[in-house]
Amino acid sequence: MQKIFVTGAAGFIGSNLIDRLLADGASVVGWDNLSTGQERFLADAVPQRGFRLVRGDNLDLAALTAAMSGCDFVFHLAANADIKDGWAHPRKDLEQNTTATFNVLEAMRANGIRRIAFSSTGSVYGEATLIPTPEDAPFPIQTSLYAASKVAGETLISAYAEGGQLDEAYLFRFVSILGERYTHGHVFDFYRQLVEHPDRLRILGDGRQRKSYLYVQDCVSALLHVTRTHTARDAKHRTQVYNLGTPEYVEVRASVGYLCAALGLKPKLEFTGGERGWIGDNPFIFLDTKKIMATGWKPRQTIEQGIIATLRWLEANRWVYPARGSGEPAHS
């Protein structure tokens, strides 16, 4: 039986991945420092015999190495994902994304684990000039500390693979992910506002930003599909890079329209102006996903369906707001 190590186990994507792995009969060790992850997301996993949760930090190399013992594959999903406020704590991206990835690789090397999947980001393309953006697009100037730290993680992993330390390395460049257990992002923020004041909604930027999104279960399916078909094993440098997204994008204004229609609201929209919502916000992110779709995977949910599924989950799970320190939405 395969024994899989998952960093960021109590996070949005990690907890959904673990549920799928356990359902498929895998044995899983979940690793999380619970700084942003929620133990409640692992409520179904914890009682299962094939699952063990270890509380620990990726900056503690000795503990990480010990926890990883006996595993044969690593999904490295733990990261600081706070792009918008990166300049309020610049060291966090370096430590939790780049140094943490180095520690994961060293823990793997100590344990003889030679296969890894890494959650990178479509933000590594910066303000891409080629839209939709393919995996082999030229790398531009980086526009956020988050993206810069993810590029560093990617290059570390590929260097370990080229150096004979890994047999298979999978680098997944995600668009924004939506769905159950979602705890940050535009739907999270917009729903909180609309519950607190249904008559108005403040939107960062001019609302014309164009973004692509992917439903979390489609994301998990992509991770499992590719890693189980071993596409990196015979690849050049033993590394495969895949964009993950849907073959569509929406304007922020359209996302707002989906949410307001679902809630039966017609708020006054207040825009902060400018094509960017914050420093490092790329006004147009749309990834070319032909490469991963050629492997036989394709998304099942549209962006609109993903947005509505996220909204319905947030409506039923308002506890995530105080749990994330975001303030609980008041009842309208």
- How does 266-301 read in b/e, with b if 16+ C-beta sit within 10 Å? ebeeebeeeebbeebbbbbbbbbbebbeeeebebeb
Q: How many CA atoms lie within 13 A of 110 on its CB side?
A: 15
Distance between CA 184 and CA 125 in Å, rounded? 22
Q: Which residue has the higher pLDDT, 96 or 242?
A: 242
Q: Cα 125–127–130 angle (5° rounding)? A: 75
Same domain, 194 and 84: no
Nearest Cα residue to 98 out of 59, 144, 57, 54: 59
DSSP string, 80-98: ----TTGGGSHHHHIIIII
Distance between CA 285 and CA 327 in Å, rounded? 29
Same domain, 89 and 45: yes
What the block records as the tokens of 285 is: 């992110």
If 0-12 CB within 10 Å is exposed, 13-18 middle and 19+ buried, where does residue 316 land? Answer: exposed
At residue 194, the 3 state secondary structure works out as helix
Question: CATH number of the domain that 117 lies in?
Answer: 3.40.50.720
What the block records as the tokens of 181 is: 């257990």
* 262 within 8 A of 308, measured Cβ to Cβ: yes
Q: How confident is the model at residue 91 (pLDDT cuts 50, 70, 90)?
A: confident
Q: Which domain holds residue 257?
A: 178-212+246-323
Same domain, 208 and 190: yes
Please write the tens of the pLDDT for every residue from 51-87.
999 999 999 999 999 999 999 999 999 987 766 665 7
Same domain, 73 and 22: yes
Number of domains in the chain: 2
In a domain, 222, yes or no: yes
In a domain, 240, yes or no: yes
Same domain, 200 and 280: yes
In a domain, 163, yes or no: yes
pLDDT for residue 327 is more than 90: no
Q: What is the pTM of this model?
A: 0.94
Please write the tens of the pLDDT for every residue from 176-192.
999 999 998 899 999 99
Determine how many CB atoms are found less than 10 A away from the CB of residue 217: 19
